[in-house]
Amino acid sequence: MRVRVKIWIEDEEQNLIFGGGKTEVLQLIDETGSISKAAQRVGMNYKKAWSHIKILEKNIEDELVVTQKGQGEQSGSCLTPKAREVIQTYKILQYDIKKYADKRFKELFLKDNKEILSIKEKSFDEAE
């Protein structure tokens, strides 16, 4: 048994600003140099990946993605140093929170090596 946490950053109106999905899209843009290829790799359509970028542009003052239109080596997309800094900082936050959640879960739910919460074993019919 384990605890799971999901971390995202919201503005004052509770609009999602940054989280795991945007992080993944940005990292794949950085790897592939292409919004289209990043979208394919993450399993979403181009429009959805582009909407992630548009949300970032709308809500964050710093430019995170630079796109060169056209064809050939000069075209494509890349991340700014600020984007890489935001991704790295978000990943540190995510790691720290998950590490704390795991530690705290064990302290609270596995007292004296005894589980407080017991999971029923599934029968063959339930497992399907």
Write the CATH number for 49: 1.10.10.10
pLDDT value of residue 94? 96
Residue 98 pLDDT level (bands cut at 50, 70, 90): very high
Between 71 and 25, the higher pLDDT residue: 25
| pLDDT band, very low/low/confident/very high, at 37 (cuts 50, 70, 90) | very high
Within a domain: 117: no
Judged against a pLDDT cut of 90, whether residue 111 lies above it is answered with no
Rounded to whole angstroms, what are the CA distances from 66 to 55, 72, 79, 123? 15, 16, 6, 53
pTM of the model: 0.81
% of the chain at pLDDT higher than 70: 94
**Looking at the domain assignment, is residue 121 inside a domain?**
no
- Which one, of 53, 20, 26, 57, lies nearest residue 41 by Cα? 26
Number of domains, the chain: 1
Domain range enclosing 92: 9-112
